[in-house]
Every structure is written in structure tokens, then in C-alpha cells.
Chains A and B, each alone.
Chain A
Amino acid sequence: AQSVTQLGSHVSVSEGALVLLRCNYSSSVPPYLFWYVQYPNQGLQLLLKYTSAATLVKGINGFEAEFKKSETSFHLTKPSAHMSDAAEYFCAVSEGSGGGADGLTFGKGTHLIIQP
């Protein structure tokens, strides 16, 4: 069974500063990994995904994440935070190409706060 741990339920950064949201996973098989973003009162939107191709993945809105198998991590970064980045971010894992149909396992989420 897979699981996801997101370090920090709240992260606060200044506008223009580096954004780093941490995600560690466990999986008994090569995983697929995802970051989703949720804006207030909306559903989740796919930000980026790792599906066993390049380990550095670029997503929408200037975000990127790097898959590090040795560290079982998939941290999300953005060089310069913008006020519009304020949202809830979820890391998720599935069992990859050999997995079943029972969906993604989500972390508990990290609320990103952008200080002006």
C-alpha cells in the first residue's frame, strides 16, 4: 500500500521568494506521483505529474518538482512566489503502471500563504 506525507500543514513565504513544499512517499512498486492545487471553494486541479519519464517535471504556473527515488521525495518548488499562488496543495501517489484501479492516495495538504 502507498502513503504520502506532506511536511508542514501551513507554509508562509514572501511574494517573490522561493516556494518549497515537501512531499515524501512510500510505495511497494514504482509510483506515479502528482501535485494538485485547490483554490478556495473549488475542486482540485492537476499541477504536474511524474510517470517514470524525466525526474524533473515542469508544471503549470511556473511550478516544478523533482522525483528522487533514493530520498522517496517529490518536493514542489517555484523560484518566485506570486500572490495568486496562495492555495492548498496536495501531493498524491498511485501504484504506477502496474497499479490497480483504486485511485490516488493523497497527503493531508499544505496551505501556502503568500505575504505581500
Chain B
Amino acid sequence: NAGVTQTPKFRILKIGQSMTLQCAQDMNHNYMYWYRQDPGMGLKLIYYSVGAGITDKGEVPNGYNVSRSTTEDFPLRLELAAPSQTSVYFCASSHTGTGAEGYTFGSGTRLTVV
């Protein structure tokens, strides 16, 4: 099925470890986004990309890095994991930057840092 695929679904990290959250879409969307979701706080934008080779910071980028070497993939890198990064992470993609046609979301990665 076409859509956004995120891996892994769950992960437990120790403080100071690093990991990469994978995100891939097969809809040829130029725009891709990483959000984190915390209880009662809605979704906060971490990073976004308007196409291969182009990325920019969102509202809460500290502690994260991204790359966009292909249209399909938009991995999120956590360096030196901290308990404050315990969250559910969602990747999304869209055809336009305004999201007028709606975003397609992945099913999320639930990350716990202990």
C-alpha cells in the first residue's frame, strides 16, 4: 500500500546513546516532516524538507539532525539521547507545502529514553 513507512515502531534507548528513526514514502512527495507528539501538547515540528538535499529546522530541532539524500527517505537522527526526547515521533509527507491536499502520516515510532 502506498504511504509513509516508519521504523522501528518501538525503541528503548539509554541516555547518551544515538539512533536513527527511518521514514520512507512512495508517493513521490517533495515535502516531508518530522513531528514529535507529547501528551497534552499536540504535535511539534522538529525538521522539514522541501525536496532532496534541502532541509530546515522546525520549532523544536535541538538534539536532532536530518538528511534528505533521496525524495523517498527522510531519516531523523538522535545524538546523545536524553530523557526529554522520550516521545512519539511521526513522519509525514505532502504534495504541497501548505498541506492543502492533506498530509500522509506514518504510524509513528514510540521512543523511551532511560
**What is the CA–CA distance of A108 and B44 in the complex, to the nearest angstrom?**
10
Return the CB mask of A41-53 against B: 1 if under 8 Å, else 0: 1111110010100
CB–CB B90/A103 < 8 A: no
CB–CB B105/A34 < 8 A: no
**What is the CA–CA distance of A51 and B106 in the complex, to the nearest angstrom?**
23
**What is the CA–CA distance of A49 and B106 in the complex, to the nearest angstrom?**
19
From A12-20, A65-73, A77-85, A89-97, the one touching the partner chain is A89-97
The answer, yes or no, to whether B53 is at the interface (CB within 8 Å) is no
CB–CB A44/B58 < 8 A: no
How far apart are B10's CB and chain A's nearest CB, in angstroms?
10
The answer, yes or no, to whether A62 is at the interface (CB within 8 Å) is no
Chain A contact patch, size range: 20 to 34
CB–CB B58/A103 < 8 A: yes
Q: Which of B4, B48, B102 has the most CB of A within 10 A?
A: B102
A-B contact pairs, 23 of them (CB 8 A): A9-B40, A41-B107, A43-B90, A43-B108, A44-B43, A44-B90, A44-B105, A49-B100, A49-B102, A90-B42, A90-B43, A92-B99, A96-B98, A97-B98, A99-B98, A100-B97, A101-B97, A102-B45, A103-B45, A103-B58, A104-B99, A108-B41, A109-B42
Q: Give the residues from 39 to 86 in chain B that come closer than 8 angstroms, CB to CB, to chain A.
A: 40-45, 48, 50, 56, 58
How far apart are A89's CB and chain B's nearest CB, in angstroms?
11
Taking CB atoms, residues of chain B closer than 8 Å to A9 are: 40
Do A43 and B105 contact each other (CB < 8 Å), given the known contacts A34-B99, A94-B98, A101-B48? yes
Do A51 and B42 contact each other (CB < 8 Å), given the known contacts A43-B105, A101-B50, A102-B48? no
Taking CB atoms, residues of chain A closer than 8 Å to B58 are: 102-103
Return the CB mask of B83-114 against A: 1 if under 8 Å, else 0: 00000001010000111101101111000000
How far apart are B98's CB and chain A's nearest CB, in angstroms?
5
How far apart are A110's CB and chain B's nearest CB, in angstroms?
10
Taking CB atoms, residues of chain A closer than 8 Å to B50 are: 101
Return the CB mask of A27-65 against B: 1 if under 8 Å, else 0: 000001010000001111110010100000000000000
